[in-house]
Amino acid sequence: MKLLKWTLGILILLGVLLVAGSLLLPGRTHVERSITIERPPAEVFATLNSFRRFNEWSPWFAADPQAKYTYEGPAEGVGAGMRWSGNQAVGSGSQRITESRAPERVVVALDFDGHPSVATYTLTAEGAGATRVTWAFDTEHGYNPISRWFGLLFDRMLGADYERGLAQLKTLSEAAPPR
């Protein structure tokens, strides 16, 4: 009986430490990656300002080519939206463009099964005809201890996907004939 009380006491103490420790962790997560694409900002912006070509460069499309996609609102710009439902690798959710400033910025509201986040594409002209694209992800964790601990893994998990997606965007953009 004494061993059971000690074990229970240790488990309770560990639980309290995990919850209390989570309050010391950041309440938000920011992940970002960048790449230079040898195309003018206006050309790259046209691809990012619509979801119609998203799966041509998305790092997640190959994880479930059978996923279902629906498009909502206008074809491009503010209000353009996309919903998806797929296997465990891609899950389900939606994204909607909330800000579109040609040719420098596109902001997207994301919802992954009820977990809201924001993705931002920032385009900066570099040299003659090149564009620096920065893809950023931001999410708030509030006081959810599990979400705060999980937030520590986002850069490692999402960063590789962003790098792959940006590389695919570069390939797609540079293969297209100049406009």
Q: What is the pLDDT of residue 66?
A: 92
Give yes or no for residue 150 having a pLDDT over 80. no
Q: Is residue 141 within 8 Å of 28, Cβ to Cβ? A: yes
CA distances from 159 to 16, 45, 58, 127 (A): 31, 21, 13, 26
- The pLDDT tens digits for 66-108 are 999 999 999 999 999 999 999 988 899 999 999 999 999 999 9
Q: What is the pLDDT of residue 24?
A: 57
Indicate the residue type of 166: L
Instruction: Label residue 147 by pLDDT band (50, 70, 90).
Output: confident
Neighbours of 68 (CB within 10 A): 10
Q: Which two tokens stand for residue 97?
A: 């463009």
**Who's near 19: CB < 8 A, 6+ residues apart?**
145
**In the chain, what are the domains?**
25-175 (3.30.530.20)
- The pLDDT tens digits for 5-43 are 777 767 766 665 565 555 656 668 899 999 999 999 999
Least confident of 138-142, 147-151, 152-156: 147-151
- The pLDDT tens digits for 167-176 are 999 999 999 8
Higher pLDDT, 125 or 18: 125
Question: Strands across the sheet with 130-140, in order?
Answer: 28-37, 130-140, 115-126, 105-112, 92-101, 81-85, 68-72
Give yes or no for residue 160 having a pLDDT over 90. yes
Q: What is the pTM of this model?
A: 0.85
**Who's near 105: CB < 8 A, 6+ residues apart?**
99, 120, 121, 122, 123
Strands 28-37 and 115-126: unpaired
Q: What is the pLDDT of residue 14?
A: 66
Q: How many CA atoms lie within 13 A of 55 on its CB side?
A: 16
